Chains A and B, each alone.
Chain A
Amino acid sequence: MAFLDEIQRARREKTPREKLGRMARWEARWGYAFIALWMVGFSLWYLIPMAASLVFSLFDFELTNLSAARFVGLGNWRRLLFEDPLVWQSLRVTFTFALISLPVGMVSAFFLAVLLNSKHLIAANLFRTLFYAPAMVPAVAGVLIWSGVLDPTTGWINRLIAFVFQVDAVGPNGIRWLADPVLVYVAYTLIGLWGIGNAILYNLASLQGVPTELYEAADIDGAGWWRKLTAITVPMVSPVIFYNLVLGVIALLQFFVTPYVLTGGSGFPQGQTYYYMIHFFKQAFGFLNMGYGATIAWFMFLIALGITVLLFGTAKYWVYYAAERR
């Protein structure tokens, strides 16, 4: 959906190749004039730095002592791929977490949107605003709030579990959400649920665009709630699901604030929260290892590119673009 579709559409559209007339030249000049700001910005903040980043990855240097920079060829890349176990550990952590957090977040956003779209819901607009509100809580504040609510002794989550299930969950021997190497992923996933506000709204907007005739026809055929959901709603909303998936994967590769605020980048417990971005931050800005930092960043870019291409490749098998058929 949205800008991802726009890429597909723009690729199909042909720009006329014939020689431009006087009016067309005038128009083109003004067009370039308006986008000039972006073209300068793109060169300054994207094109040149990306190329420079690749060049940096061939050197070993520190910012404060540029004269000591040393050309190391593919040395940084060899180190990244074969000699730095933390790269693979942090990638394993990042992808393990993504495999838990992304489906949970996307399914929650979808079902919340279905509920918020229900014609039976009273005060729907108020609910929509309130469900979006946590997305407005600044990230650091949100993480600190969750770190309190997940506290084994004083947090409300353990108290609620103890109350509802009548088990002994509170106290020093209670559930230690942030200190258990497995539960910590559940905890981080819960924290991530405060960030699904946008995904809910995208799903909601898409649900409202599903033609009601489809449901009416399904009603006549005697389809139940679940059948309508899987056969009509999910395919019709699949472009949004695709969009949330692409942005979600890219965002999770850059996952940083939650682990950094909670652990300072230590990876506690047992390296389970040592995310790829934490590794990058430590190398580039902790040890000021700029050449190796650039290598880690470029590798992240290659991974992101690979995943994006892969996802776009699978899109035609499961993403339904109604507009394409017109």
Chain B
Amino acid sequence: MAAPATRPSAAPVGTPASAPQRVDGMHARNAVVRAAITSLVLVILLLYLMPLGYSIATSLKSKEQVSDVNAPILPSAPERFEFEGQTYDVYRVPTDEGEQRWALITPGRNSSMFVDTENPDAGLFEWEGRWRTLTPAYRLAFQWSNYQRAYEFIDFIRLLGFTLMYAGITTIAATASAAIVAYGFARFKFPFRNVLFIVLISTIILPPQVTLVPTYAFFFQLGWVGTWLPLIVPQFFSNAYNVFLLRQYFMTIPTSMEEAARIDGAGPIRTFVSVILPQAVPALIAVSLFHFFFAWNDFFGPLIYLAGNADINPLAVGLFRFNGLYSSEPQLIQAASILTMIIPLLIFFFAQRFFMQGIVLTGDK
């Protein structure tokens, strides 16, 4: 670990070096290998994301469909057919000319009266067989109202407001404080610097529970339990993971510009703000994203500190409580789950370049 961390821009996560092709005959073989590996990865991906597909499908189903074992996998409703002013169920009837979609008009034990949905003018006709053995016909139908109901029941706007407030404030606080501390560790020599840095890093591996009871007692004495303060205030004192990431990045920035600024009479604060920070924007964005997602996800903290005050819960805790209340309506649970993930997923897809480079930076040697 002698080499300093590479700048993310210099270490693209893509394009492994591929040797130039020497033999033309290898092209065909290569195409087969490509197709095989890509299909394998695609199959694994589909399995990996299947729960997401389930969730989306379920969130758009009616309550009846969710509890009906024989209903199709995709959101659907039983097909109905209107005939002479009345609506009837449609069944898939096997015939000599393939499967037909017929509406059941008068059910009978061993034979029933049907009408052909394709050709209603032909009128009623009799079909020999037990109609109960037939499969009902379904058509795709999306219950978008599930989202509206979940949105209202969970009180989405209020939960979202508290989540955004928490994530917003602490992201700014955590990133700014970590940048200040990281600059101290990256650019200044002082006694015990290495010892202090080891202590800082060790707190990453420290289980937070060991400090939790006294911290909780402390906030309880202050009268802060039941408010957001215990969750927000500690974030102003920097966090080891963020400091580590930013320090690694700062150390890759050449010192020449700082020296020039110093010769021009700029003090350390000025140098930090106008030389270092502008050059560290990708790393600052990465740290902000990490913290934003952490705060969005935070469950345990709000669970214990806001326990007596359900009115100010964030989405994670709100979703948990919602699950307890509406466990008999899986389609609403799934709709609410999707609602809580839309914003982080959108941010991730738009900012994934910074995000993934940031992860690589913390993991990089």
Cβ contact within 8 Å between A261 and B205: no
Q: With contacts A44-B237, A118-B37 known, is A141 near B197, CB below 8 A?
A: no
Cβ contact within 8 Å between A254 and B209: yes
Q: Which residues of B contact A133 (CB under 8 A)?
A: 49, 345, 348-349
Question: What's the dominant secondary structure at chain B's contact region?
Answer: helix
Cβ contact within 8 Å between B183 and A121: no
* Residue A221 lies at the interface, judged by CB distance under 8 Å to chain B: no
Binds B, one of A90-98, A153-161, A227-235: A153-161
Cβ contact within 8 Å between B67 and A3: no
* Residue B309 lies at the interface, judged by CB distance under 8 Å to chain A: no
Binds A, one of B75-83, B99-107, B211-219: B211-219
Cβ contact within 8 Å between B37 and A49: no
Cβ contact within 8 Å between A121 and B55: no
Cβ contact within 8 Å between A300 and B34: no
* Residue A175 lies at the interface, judged by CB distance under 8 Å to chain B: no
Q: With contacts A254-B209, A277-B209 known, is A201 near B214, CB below 8 A?
A: no
* Residue A58 lies at the interface, judged by CB distance under 8 Å to chain B: no
Binds B, one of A80-88, A99-107, A204-212, A267-275: A204-212
Q: With contacts A7-B198, A145-B52, A193-B48 known, is A294 near B243, CB below 8 A?
A: no
User: Nearest chain-A residue to B210 (Cβ)?
Assistant: A301
User: Nearest chain-B residue to A146 (Cβ)?
Assistant: B51
* Residue A71 lies at the interface, judged by CB distance under 8 Å to chain B: no
Q: B48's contact among A31, A131, A153, by CB below 8 Å, is which?
A: A131
Chain B: number of interface residues, binned into ranges: 35 or more
* Residue A224 lies at the interface, judged by CB distance under 8 Å to chain B: no
User: Nearest chain-A residue to B272 (Cβ)?
Assistant: A34
* Residue B229 lies at the interface, judged by CB distance under 8 Å to chain A: no
Q: Within residues 17 to 67 of chain B, which ones have a CB less than 8 A from any CB in chain A?
A: 17-19, 30, 33-34, 36-38, 40-41, 44-45, 48-55, 58, 66-67
Complex Cα distance A301/B210, Å? 6
Cβ contact within 8 Å between B234 and A27: no
Cβ contact within 8 Å between B213 and A323: no
Complex Cα distance A298/B201, Å? 20
Kindly list the 10 A-B residue pairs having the minimum CB-CB distance in the complex, ordered from nearest.
A41-B237, A34-B184, A31-B188, A52-B214, A49-B211, A5-B1, A31-B190, A202-B363, A28-B190, A141-B337
* Apart from A45-B237, A144-B334, A243-B363, 5 more pairs, CB < 8 Å: A34-B268, A37-B180, A41-B234, A128-B356, A139-B316
Which residues of B are interface residues toward A (Cβ below 8 A)?
1-3, 11, 13-14, 16-19, 30, 33-34, 36-38, 40-41, 44-45, 48-55, 58, 66-67, 69, 73, 177, 180-181, 183-185, 187-218, 220, 234, 236-238, 243-244, 268, 272, 293, 296-297, 299-300, 304, 307, 315-317, 319-320, 323-324, 330, 333-334, 337-338, 340-341, 344-345, 348-349, 352, 356, 359-360, 362-365
A and B contact pairs by CB, cutoff 8 A, 8 listed: A42-B200, A53-B214, A119-B17, A133-B349, A140-B340, A141-B319, A149-B50, A154-B69
